[in-house]
Amino acid sequence: MSSSPADITAVVVAYDSAEVLPACLAALAREGVAALVVDNASTDESAAIAERCGAKVLRNARNEGYGRANNRGAGAADTPFILIVNPDLEIGEGAVAALLAAADAYPDAAAFAPRLVEPSGRVFLQPRSLLSPDHLNRAREIVLPEGDACLPFLSGACLLLRREIFTALGGFDPEIFLFYEDDDLCRRLRDAGHALIHVDGAEARHGRGRSSSPSPQRRFTARWHLAWSHYHVARKWALPLPGSIGLVENAAKAIGYGMILNREKMMAHAGSVAGALAARAGRSALARQGLEGTEARS
């Protein structure tokens, strides 16, 4: 029996995403996919906009982070598939049908991703990962697939997942607030014997970084978590930890940009330093966000 869009719940995590949500949800509606928006305590009209667009909305009292919020959405779904969708992504015409056709054609696969097209027209394909064997980390040799392809990693910006497999593995790592959660999930799926399929016949347009409105403080927070999560997944998978050279370089850049009053870049590099120092000291990302000791809601 062929799968249909009714077998999918799209999970969209929103955090001050009012500007991009309408287009994201409209594209899902055109494909016949029901949307469930998990609002991470937005300060704008994200939740109200999602409701007006016909989406079911789960409101978090606090910003739970990307992975934990997606886990909550998956727990509230009852369909065989969930479609993880960033709010700054628009699924293309026919993409859902192509993803479902791949799911029917490859029953041993657990995750399916479309071609991700950036505003410049560039097709984004994740060529490398911290969690990938060295022989697969060939960023300069990456060739876009000319058809469906089994890949070691897929981007979490748009990812069709078999819900039972996702939940059986515990979903995204709840210790990660932001960054590397999709790499970690793909590694666990592969280790459990499930294939990951890049579906060439499906396409989605990705805004890349437009999920929330930018600010220097958000740049600091994002880079803090990027640095922290690097240490976390390195420890989790027994990989070499980042060296001190990068920390020193980021500190020097933060000072340099501060001297020329470039606050945005100063805050970004300062965030990298602060996140690395916190990880080295054994502080958790959840503690920084006031979430330590709390259970991710399901």
Which of 169, 188, 206 is the last residue in one of the domains?
Answer: 206
pLDDT tens per residue across span 188-199: 999 999 999 999
- 67, 171: one domain: yes
- 269, 140: one domain: no
Q: How far apart are CA 207 and CA 146, in angstroms?
A: 23
- 103, 175: one domain: yes
Looking at every residue in the chain, the average pLDDT score rounds to: 91
3-state secondary structure of 227: helix
pLDDT tens per residue across span 191-231: 999 999 999 999 999 986 555 566 889 899 999 999 999 99
Domain span including residue 221: 216-288
Q: How far apart are CA 282 and CA 9, in angstroms?
A: 37
Which of 186, 206, 226 is the last residue in one of the domains?
Answer: 206
3-state secondary structure of 160: strand
- 247, 126: one domain: no
Residue 50 lies in a domain: yes
Number of domains making up the chain? 2
Asked whether residue 127 carries a pLDDT value surpassing 60, the answer given is no
- 127, 202: one domain: yes
Least confident span in 74-83, 123-132, 206-215, 287-296 = 206-215
Residue 238 lies in a domain: yes
Alpha carbon distance, N-terminus to C-terminus of the chain: 30
